[in-house]
Amino acid sequence: MKSQGYAALNENGKIEPYAFERREIGANDVALDILYGGICHSDIHQVRGEWGPALFPMVPGHEIVGRVTSIGGSVSKFAVGDLIGIGVFIDSCRTCKNCLVGLQQYCLNGMTGTYNGYERDGTTVAMGGYSNNFVINEDYAVHVPANLPLEGVAPLMCAGITLYSPLKHWNAGPGKKVAIMGLGGLGHMGLKFAAALGAHVTVLSHSPTKRGDALAMGAHDFVVMDSDEAFAGLKRNFDLILNTVSADMPIAKYLDLVAVDGALVMIGLPNEPLTVSVGSLIGSRRTLSGSMIGGIPELQEMLEFCGIHNIVSEVEVIKPEYINEAYDRTVASDVKYRFVIDSSAY
């Protein structure tokens, strides 16, 4: 199937127009026209080689919403015309104990990423969502509620699920104090979900200008973490802190803000290993943990939650030729709050 998109041709990081072929649909595949594709900070890390050697040409993009255009003979989950969402992986082994319980993101044999890797056959390079169409096995795509604006749905497929999953896992809800570190693409989704789940939500930011937006999105508090006083005032305060920042942060200082039996969960991936005080863990029975996206059943559950609570991402819709500038603005924390590509413009 012919595809038109944008790719990074090498590690110089520049994204440019790129034509390529996808496989024709097999019996269990669906084909779709992509309507919108989000730009995740993970795309930038990979295009710029910040996560080690990458596969070029690379068509990034793992926040995909589209409409089904054709289905294989054995497909039962989707019909032509359905809205469809695709996230960070397009397959997994299906047989390990994690896949069997719907935690495909933790597949023991390695999930198959939506781009910058090989498909399950081990030879076809997976091409992502900065493009006009896609082919995927029906088991790794989800249904999208019809009542939501689709440009705001695309980022749910990564930014959304990545915050929804730990909020559910650590039981965010009424009576719980949750903090979100970093009000970016991931962080603003965490804020909206935590507020909708009934938790008391505080945004911990390094950008004073984001205060108004944070409060409008449901934050109860907004604290700029630029002084010792800011930290001192929040000691042992939070049941759950979700850290969406990829910059190296003073984690030991943030750990001290976690209440007894609370957790600090790493979501952004810093370059350097962490240094933590074991005394800080022991002294308050605190947990330091991590979390990665979410599995297919939880992705579907999250979209249904969004449909009921009218939750979508705050987006700036762009044309493909703006992608390089969008990358620079994202790195500068200058995005409100996710760039989304209009896929009809390829």
Take residue 234 and report the two structure tokens written for it: 């929040």
Quick one: which of 5, 66, 182, 320 contacts ligand NAP (CB under 6 A)?
182
Q: Which residue is nearest to Zn ion (CB)?
A: 40
341 binds Zn ion (CB under 5 A): no
Among residues 42, 92, 137, 300, the one that binds Zn ion under rule CB under 5 A: 42
Between CA 140 and CA 96, with CA 300 as vertex, the angle to 5 degrees is 50
Residue 340 CA to residue 39 CA, distance in Å, equals 6
Helices (H) and strands (E) in the chain, counts: 11, 17
* Residue 179 lies near ligand NAP (rule: CB under 6 A): no
Are 69 and 33 in contact by the 8 Å Cβ rule? The answer is yes
One of 40, 179, 241, 299 touching Zn ion (CB under 5 A): 40
Q: Is 114 in the site for Zn ion (CB under 5 A)?
A: no
Nearer to ligand NAP, 133 or 330 (CB): 330
Q: Are 112 and 90 in contact (CB under 8 A)?
A: yes
**Residue with Cβ nearer ligand NAP (166 or 262):** 166
Tokens 């493009």 sit at which residue?
A: 131
245 interacts with, out of ligand NAP, Zn ion, none, CB within 5 to 8 A per kind: ligand NAP
Instruction: Give Cα separations from 166 to 172, 175, 272, 292 (angstroms).
Output: 9, 17, 23, 9
Query: Near Zn ion by CB under 5 A, which window of 157-165, 172-180, 224-232, 301-309?
Result: 157-165
Among residues 60, 129, 184, 320, the one that binds ligand NAP under rule CB under 6 A = 184
The contact pattern for ligand NAP, residues 305-344, with x = CB under 6 A and - = no contact, is: -------------------------x--x-x---------
Chain residue at closest Cβ approach to ligand NAP? 184
Close Cβ partners of 264 (under 8 Å, ≥ 6 residues apart): 241, 243, 251, 254, 255, 258, 286, 287, 288, 289
Residues 238-297, interacting with ligand NAP (CB under 6 A) = 244-247, 267-269, 291-293
Asked if 204 and 253 count as a contact pair (C-beta separation under 8 A), the reply is no
Q: Does 42 bind ligand NAP (CB under 6 A)?
A: yes
Q: Which of Zn ion, ligand NAP, none binds 320 (CB below 5-8 Å, type-dependent)?
A: none
Those residues with Cβ within 8 angstroms of residue 185's Cβ, 6 or more apart along the chain or in another chain = 38, 40, 41, 155, 159, 313, 330, 335, 337, 338
**Binding span for ligand NAP by CB under 6 A among 38-46, 120-128, 271-279, 298-306:** 38-46
244 CB-near residues (< 8 Å, 6+ apart) = 163, 180, 181, 182, 184, 186, 187, 190, 267, 268
| Chain positions contacting ligand NAP, by CB under 6 A | 40-42, 45, 158-159, 162, 182-187, 205-207, 210, 244-247, 267-269, 291-293, 330, 333, 335
State the residues that interact with Zn ion by CB under 5 A: 40, 42, 158
